[in-house]
Amino acid sequence: MATTEIEEKSEDARDDAEDRPKGPARGLVREYFESGAVVLVMAMFFMTFVAQAAEVPSASMENTVYVGDRFLINKFVFGPGPHLPFLPQRDIRRGDIVVFKYPAESVPVENIVQYKTLFIKRVIGLPGETIEIKGRDILIDGKLLPEYRVESPDCNMGNDKAELKRLTAERPKADEPYTVYYRSHTACSEIPPGADAVNGVRRPYRIPEGHYFMMGDNRENSRDSRYWGPVSRDLIVGRAMFVIWSSDLSAPQEPGVSGFVSGFFKNTRWKRIGTFLR
């Protein structure tokens, strides 16, 4: 008896559903629009809070980061506020390669805009530390900072589009966590920083609280905190993660669409894709 009643109720429900007026079917355009809107919102959220892509325009970080490298920025790892133990967040450390907004005055000639143009450098000094730069030696609170130094025979390191040559050197020591590059040619070695490089160069410099001292790995071709001072914490966007695409911008470019296509395949540095930046 109970089974019969259930079947009758099910049939009544189906009849009611059939009697209701049906709305217009969603068109294909509307479906694409809704899907696109969802993707757009997710992409905006991802780029605002999680990650962002950026490209390297100068040689100040070579050979760690090449001119033409397009890399992903982790904007979440240095998130403000307390770091919860179950989230992949942490404080900024010495040696981190970070992306930040240019802190000094705008440079119209080079299209660098204060608080807007993104720069990439390595964190050398932390808040409250005293840094002093003596030639190639960097002293932090009076102690020598261990860095793995590689010398380049190429004197053309000042060319922002020219790559450093492939360099060979001994293996770094255990306490040398990252690599920096200097000129070794007698005609261009031991060139002192420019007259405007004043922070930590001629005397010890104490890094203000909430600020970080940045330097490029291509030490003699880098405008950094030695010139325009430390970077405030609120200007730091995130940590550079890995290369998602790389192109040799110094290679000759052929005209036309066919030249663009052929140049894309010839000038892409395929081995750089997926390289983690350390």
Q: What's residue 189's pLDDT?
A: 44
The span from the CA of 133 to the CA of 119, in Å, is 22
Instruction: Out of 10, 101, 106, 121, pick the active-site residue.
Output: 121
Q: What's residue 164's pLDDT?
A: 67
Could you confirm whether 173 is annotated as catalytic?
A: no
DSSP annotation string for 114-150? TTTSEEEEEEEE-TT-EEEEETTEEEETTEEPP-EEE
**82, two tokens:** 């307390």
- In angstroms, what CA-CA distances link 139 with 136, 144, 204? 10, 4, 9
- In angstroms, what CA-CA distances link 93 with 212, 214, 257, 272? 10, 12, 45, 25
| 205 burial level (CB within 10 Å; 0-12, 13-18, 19+) | buried
Q: What's residue 187's pLDDT?
A: 47
- What is the enclosing helix (H) or strand (E) of 263? helix 256-267
Q: What's residue 112's pLDDT?
A: 92
b/e per residue, 25-37, with b = 16+ CB within 10 A? eeeeeeeeeeeee
The span from the CA of 107 to the CA of 113, in Å, is 6
- Kindly give the parts of the chain with pLDDT less than 50: 1-2, 6, 9, 17, 23, 43, 45-49, 157-158, 186-187, 189-191
Superfamily of domain 54-272 in the CATH hierarchy:
Umud Fragment, subunit A (2.10.109.10)
Q: Would you put residue 128 in left (φ > 0), alpha (ψ -120 to 50) or beta? A: left
Contacts of 31 by beta carbon, 8 Å cutoff, 6+ apart: none
Could you confirm whether 60 is annotated as catalytic?
A: yes
pTM over 0.85: no
**221, two tokens:** 């071709």
Q: Would you put residue 20 in left (φ > 0), alpha (ψ -120 to 50) or beta? A: beta
Contact status, residue 23 vs residue 186, Cβ threshold 8 Å: no
Instruction: Out of 58, 60, 222, 246, pick the active-site residue.
Output: 60
Q: What's residue 100's pLDDT?
A: 96
Domain ranges (residues) in the chain: 54-272
Pairing status of strand 211-215 against strand 179-183: unpaired
Q: What's residue 6's pLDDT?
A: 47
Instruction: For CA atoms 164, 168, 169, 175, give the dihedral sign.
Output: positive
DSSP 277: -
